[in-house]
Amino acid sequence: MIKNIYFLLFASCFFLNFGCSEGKKNDIDQTKANLEEYIAKSENMIDLAATEFSVKPVQVLSNKPFDEKDAYNFTDQQTKYLSIDEFLTKVNKDFFLITEFGKPKTSVSISLNILDVNELLGLGDNAEKASYFLPQFKPSVLHFWDGTSAAADYKVNKNAEELEYNHFVLDAAKPIRSIDFDVEFKHHISTAYRLDSAKPKIKVGDEYIEMKSNADGEIKLSYPKSLAERLSEVQGFYKDGRALKKSGSSSYSISSAATVEWLKKTLPIYEQTIKLIDDQTLKTAQEVEAHLKSKLTAKPVQDVQMEFAKYYFSGPVNHLMVYIKEDKPQTVTKKVNVKLLKEIDVIGKEGYYVAFNGAKQLKGIVDVQGNWIINPIYDEIRAMGEEKFDVREGRIGTPRKLDAKNKKFIDLLP
């Protein structure tokens, strides 16, 4: 269904607030057309409200065939909102560094996806708001392969293509093994509520969320507009507790019951006004405005709209988990240690690393202290493990073995 079917009452702009230009005041044909459009929208609103304000029976399981043995109908990818400590544990465990050691500056990236992190923290998936919520990683301590450490002394380079949240250019004298970060982020506490046939309505603060219908993988919820921004996720589950795949959702809102009743009472006045225009009793836009002003009662001051949302799942939904965020996010600053990518870690244990010279844009090999073992004279060097490297000069690449003692590469036998 089209989002936000609720319309702005034309009359509040044109007829009640006298907001139209002088050039249209005598355009009685345009005035009539506007009245007819307003009447049509009002009738649609009344018809919609008659349906949505009525509570429908709740059915937990569908009568249609559903193959519970088909793994495609289920998912293990449901959103899991983490606490602050759980999020930091995940960063320490699952995030990793990719580094390119250079003299004098080393580039470092963290495996961080903005929207994935926002979802984990219960911040939502709005890309436009991501910059407001995303974690800011600020390097504090560098840990090197030779067992020493140093302050990162990191400052964002405004002129470089550097994204503060996951890419850094650091002054580092030696290859980096891990980095301590001060990570600052905004975190909403998300509370999970269960809805099912026994409990189709829950109270959140002073408001209610209600499951209006449940049939064959389609769920309808209603809740006040004030909760719309705080509803971060709806997840459906099968009777054995497995999460069902979600194929999409839609939402729309309608005015309060009081406003709909006002529409019902005032609609005949607008219909009568059309007749007065047709028989030329009202000949100008000014006369129409004056007539409506004398006949219409005041619209309810507070139009508390209700939001309606539909969610579509792959099978019959036994119960829902609805996640509601707190009103305001907490601003949190914590410390984490992010380690080098495991594959690079294995190469690093040999004690030799690919390094680049930023001025020459050429590469060589350094040891754990950052000393050049192979001077930066090559266009590309890629580590292969077991002290073997793919070395490219110009356009030709050759697998070679490192002879660190004599500071040279040895060609490998074919």
How far is residue 362 from each of residues 173, 377, 410, measured CA to CA in Å? Answer: 17, 6, 19
d(CA 370, CA 359): 17
Confirm whether 68 is domain-assigned.
no
Residues 116 and 170 in one domain: yes
296 within 8 A of 269, measured Cβ to Cβ: yes
Residues 183 and 240 in one domain: no
Rg (CA), the chain: 33
* Domain range enclosing 28: 10-52+257-295
Backbone φ and ψ of 240, nearest 5°? -90, 10
Residues 195 and 321 in one domain: yes
Sign of CA dihedral 21, 22, 26, 27: negative
Query: What does the pLDDT read at residue 25?
Result: 47
Residues 264 and 241 in one domain: no
Residues 324 and 197 in one domain: yes
> If 0-12 CB within 10 Å is exposed, 13-18 middle and 19+ buried, where does residue 47 land?
exposed
Residue with tokens 């800011």: 136
Query: What does the pLDDT read at residue 203?
Result: 93
Residues 148 and 198 in one domain: no
Beta-strand relationship, 396-403 and 408-411: antiparallel
Beta-strand relationship, 231-237 and 218-224: unpaired
Query: What does the pLDDT read at residue 307?
Result: 86
Backbone φ and ψ of 47, nearest 5°? -65, -45
Return per-residue pLDDT of the chain as tens, 414 residues. Answer: 333 333 333 333 333 333 333 444 458 999 999 999 999 988 888 887 777 766 566 665 555 688 999 999 999 877 777 778 888 888 888 888 999 899 888 989 888 765 566 666 665 555 566 666 677 888 999 999 999 999 998 887 766 655 556 788 899 989 999 999 998 887 777 888 999 999 999 999 888 999 988 888 899 999 988 888 888 789 999 999 999 999 888 887 788 888 889 999 999 999 999 999 999 999 999 999 999 999 998 888 766 677 888 999 999 999 999 988 887 778 889 999 999 988 888 888 889 999 999 888 899 999 999 999 999 999 999 888 888 889 998 878 888 899 888 999 998 865
Residues 239 and 324 in one domain: yes
pTM above 0.75, yes or no: no
Total count of domains within the chain: 4
